[in-house]
Amino acid sequence: MSRSAHPAGPRHADVLPEGHYSGPAADLNELDPKVWAQTVTRDDDANGVVTVGGIDVKTLAERHGTPAYVLDEDDFRQRARAWRTAFGHDADVFYAGKAFLSRAVVRWLHEEGLNLDVCSGGELATALSAGMPADRIAFHGNNKSVSEITRAVEAGVGRIVLDSFQEIVRVAHIAQSLGKRQRVQIRITVGVEAHTHEFIATAHEDQKFGIPLAGGQAAEAVRRALQLDGLELIGIHSHIGSQIFDMSGFEVAAHRVVGLLKDIRDEHGVELPEIDLGGGLGIAYTSDDDPREPHDIAKALTEIVTRECDAARLRTPRISVEPGRAIVGPTAFTLYEVGTIKPLDGLRTYVSVDGGMSDNIRTALYDAEYSVALVSRRSDAEPMLARVVGKHCESGDIVVKDAFLPGDLAPGDLIAVPATGAYCRSMASNYNHVLRPPVVAVKDGESRVIVRRETEEDLLRLDVG
Ligand code: LLP
């Protein structure tokens, strides 16, 4: 993944980058279940319109407008449940709210027996207002404010994940002044960074999160935390990256975290009861991605930790994980209406939609790849190489870099980009004063707005003149 935005330039002129999934699918009408939410189907009795949760996308567009994020509630619940079941009763699954958070989602998570990871006062407020019990909330962040920490301690969150030496003292002081003993974990950086198919096991302490294991810094953090009355140190936390398919990064991380647990036992005579291995498990954005099932991931992580603990003669701690993308990512697609279509001879056809980088910044920001399909009808026209772009005043405003769409695509058609449940609405902006789309949950033939569309009144209300 590229880390640099590239608003214009020669890269955009490549017809298909090397190594890109090449050529159109045999049938553009087919919807690969790997990238689409579980209840998505094409209704061949109704001219091939796509339905989700028992409702067709034309009805959704009429009722709720476009663009809209359409979220399959059954799929969300099933994925949440699959993670919960895979890890069983000896482990905890904390859904990472940064991927997408709303009060409806908090209620679903609560009902499905998951916990919640929040990383700001806003996420904490959303979780509490939707009734998530505070003791099932973990509070993260590299720069939590005093007021955020105070609210979290007062609310009684189950754990605060300490991210720096200063925060160890800060949280201890706040807890003590409130007459409380706060359960905490310490986030360490184990020198592993993983992205997609690769991981790098050196020199990745150079980042803003956590306390490096290197140079005895994590051991020193533990020493200090154990001395402070306001803190109850319950475990060590490690998060190694995002959109990861390769488990070997977790293996190295678990090895190093368990090594620290062993050192803590040897030095302090204390066996910390928990270890959190973070989130970061990958999903399929295109048919070329092969994500692992929660059951396989749970088995692999549990085996790694158990093996490492046996070797170190430690009791196996309670494991927790923090998947965000892997739960919500595949459950939603963004529904757009096609506007201007501009064929550029010999290059590709630019297909403009009524949203863009304000509802999905990931393509511009990370060079992320997405799929796209015509969903308001079926078409057997010849495939055309297309680039789906938004309506923003910027040439880097690309939603799908390279994709094949039917050559008879026309203004007014509906197209959908799957796997936009994670880090799209939660990273959406008002760039160009474009209004952020709603999130519409569908289930059993019903649609329900769970986050409403922004209005011009919303914009003007914030602009106090
Ligand atoms: N736990 C911690 C401590 C994290 O920092 C994160 C993500 C997660 C869990 C959840 O990771 P997930 O399972 O969702 O990959 N905006 C980027 C992703 C940033 C992830 C930040 N931390 C993107 O759109 O790809």
Pocket, ligand 1, Cβ cutoff 6 A? 96, 98-99, 117, 140, 239, 242-243, 278-281, 322-326, 362, 366, 422-423
Final residue belonging to a domain, choices 268, 293, 323: 323
CATH number, residue 389 = 2.40.37.10
Is 228 inside a domain boundary? yes
Strand ranges (DSSP E) for 303-397? 318-321, 332-344, 348-353, 373-374, 383-389
21 is in an annotated binding site: no
- φ/ψ (deg, to 5) at 29: -80, -15
Asked if residue 270 and residue 338 are part of one domain, the reply reads no
Residue 56 CA to ligand 1 center (angstroms) comes to 32
Asked if residue 316 and residue 183 are part of one domain, the reply reads yes
Asked if residue 398 and residue 362 are part of one domain, the reply reads yes
Its sign, for the CA torsion 131, 134, 137, 139, is positive
Q: Give residues with Cβ within 8 angstroms of 462, minimum separation 6.
A: none
Q: Using DSSP bridges, classify how beta strands 373-374 and 414-418 pair: parallel, antiparallel or unpaired.
A: antiparallel
Position 10 pLDDT exceeds 70: no
The secondary structure element, H or E, covering residue 51 is: strand 49-52
325 is in an annotated binding site: yes
Q: Give residues with Cβ within 8 angstroms of 465, minimum separation 6.
A: none
Is 383 inside a domain boundary? yes
Is 243 inside a domain boundary? yes
pLDDT per position as a tens digit, 243-270: 999 999 999 999 999 999 999 999 999 9
pLDDT per position as a tens digit, 367-395: 999 999 999 999 999 999 999 999 999 99
- Tell me how far apart the alpha carbons of residues 211 and 219 are, in angstroms, rounded to a whole number: 9
Q: What is the mean pLDDT of residues 124-135?
A: 98
- Tell me how far apart the alpha carbons of residues 96 and 142 are, in angstroms, rounded to a whole number: 15
Task: Flag whether the pTM goes above 0.75.
Answer: yes
366 is in an annotated binding site: yes
Confidence tier at 4 by pLDDT (50, 70, 90): very low
CB 142 within 8 A of CB 237: no
Residue 145 CA to ligand 1 center (angstroms) comes to 20
CB 254 within 8 A of CB 278: no
Is 98 inside a domain boundary? no
> How high is the pLDDT of residue 462?
96
Asked if residue 455 and residue 427 are part of one domain, the reply reads yes
Is 89 inside a domain boundary? no
The secondary structure element, H or E, covering residue 182 is: strand 182-189
Is 36 inside a domain boundary? no
Give the position, in ligand 1's atom list, of the atom nearest the Cα of 280.
15
CATH number, residue 294 = 3.20.20.10
CB 235 within 8 A of CB 270: no
Give the position, in ligand 1's atom list, of the atom nearest the Cα of 368.
25
Is 109 inside a domain boundary? no
HSE, CB side, 13 Å, CA atoms: give it for residue 432: 13
Give the position, in ligand 1's atom list, of the atom nearest the Cα of 427.
16
> How high is the pLDDT of residue 316?
96
Q: Whose CA is nearest to atom 8 of ligand 1?
A: 279
For the chain, the residue count is: 465
> How high is the pLDDT of residue 193?
83
CB 417 within 8 A of CB 407: no
Asked if residue 365 and residue 286 are part of one domain, the reply reads no
Asked if residue 293 and residue 190 are part of one domain, the reply reads yes
Asked if residue 340 and residue 284 are part of one domain, the reply reads no
Position 3 pLDDT exceeds 50: no
pLDDT > 90 in the chain, percent: 90
What is the domain range of residue 258? Answer: 140-323
390 is in an annotated binding site: no
Final residue belonging to a domain, choices 289, 323, 357: 323
Residue 343 CA to ligand 1 center (angstroms) comes to 37
Position 206 pLDDT exceeds 70: yes
Asked if residue 373 and residue 445 are part of one domain, the reply reads yes
Q: For residue 393, indicate whether it is catalytic.
A: yes
Residue 422 CA to ligand 1 center (angstroms) comes to 9
431 is in an annotated binding site: no
Asked if residue 342 and residue 319 are part of one domain, the reply reads no
Asked if residue 395 and residue 310 are part of one domain, the reply reads no
Final residue belonging to a domain, choices 302, 323, 344: 323
HSE, CB side, 13 Å, CA atoms: give it for residue 96: 25
- Tell me how far apart the alpha carbons of residues 75 and 96 are, in angstroms, rounded to a whole number: 17
> How high is the pLDDT of residue 194?
85
* Best of 236, 242, 281 for a ligand 1 pocket test (most atoms within 8 Å of beta carbon): 242
What residue type is assigned to position 133 of the chain? P
Asked if residue 343 and residue 315 are part of one domain, the reply reads no
Name the domain count of the chain: 2
Q: Whose CA is nearest to atom 23 of ligand 1?
A: 423
Asked if residue 308 and residue 162 are part of one domain, the reply reads yes
- Tell me how far apart the alpha carbons of residues 309 and 326 are, in angstroms, rounded to a whole number: 27
Residue 280 CA to ligand 1 center (angstroms) comes to 6
Is 190 inside a domain boundary? yes
